[in-house]
Amino acid sequence: MVSALSLIGIFILLLKENILQKILFFLVVLSAGGLMGGAFLHLIPEALEEVSGQRVFLYVLLGFFLFFIIEKTLHWRHCHKNKCPEHTFAYMNLVGDAVHNFIDGLIIAASFVTNFSLGLVATLAIILHEIPQEIGDFGVLIYGGFKKKKALYSNLLVALTAVVGGILGYFISTRIEFFVSFLIPFAAGGFIYIAASDLIPEIRKEESFKKSLIAFLIFGVGILIMYLMRFIE
């Protein structure tokens, strides 16, 4: 299901650019709130029940740091606009996205192995992030010279690495308990990095007071969704 979001470009082609930009901004805001809520309200508390506090926060920092290294090393930039200043790195963006999707698959698998409700929370947080990311990635490929059909095919192929990560993560998680206790706070660090480094800076660029006010409310909705998910546990 998460991998299928790569085909969202089909629907994006039907939207006018000005409409797309308005929708995209609020998707980014919702994604940021969802990722923060998922990290602080679910993943970290769940990890604290299994592992000592000091180790949990060390793993959170490790996840944050590793996602930072991946982004800088692979020129992985989540561009949320149709025209991206780094469009010349379109192929490198695909490589970085493949790594990211693989990690997403590992996170989803480890979360479901821990318990079903946590798996739903992790999956929802990833989906909220994947929608604006896939729109941005599709725009990067088109602007970088890809034909529309090739861009859709490339995005889908790269997205399937999440399936590989999910299968591998499932088999590793069921055999190595430490892997799960490590990956949950590690994922939290990654979620925090994506929200704080990639998404919130996009939100801060908005100068309209009215639009910013709506953004604050939608950010809160993203957190609220994650809070309400606690009651299904």
Distance of CA 218 to the CA centre of its chain: 17
Please write the tens of the pLDDT for every residue from 195-223: 888 778 878 888 888 889 999 999 999 89
Cβ contact 158:94 at 8 Å = yes
Within 8 A by CB and 6+ apart from 12, the residues are: 20, 135, 138, 139
Please write the tens of the pLDDT for every residue from 154-174: 888 888 989 998 898 888 876
- What predicted TM-score, i.e. pTM, was given to this entire model? 0.71
Report the helix count and the strand count for the chain, using DSSP H and E: 11, 0
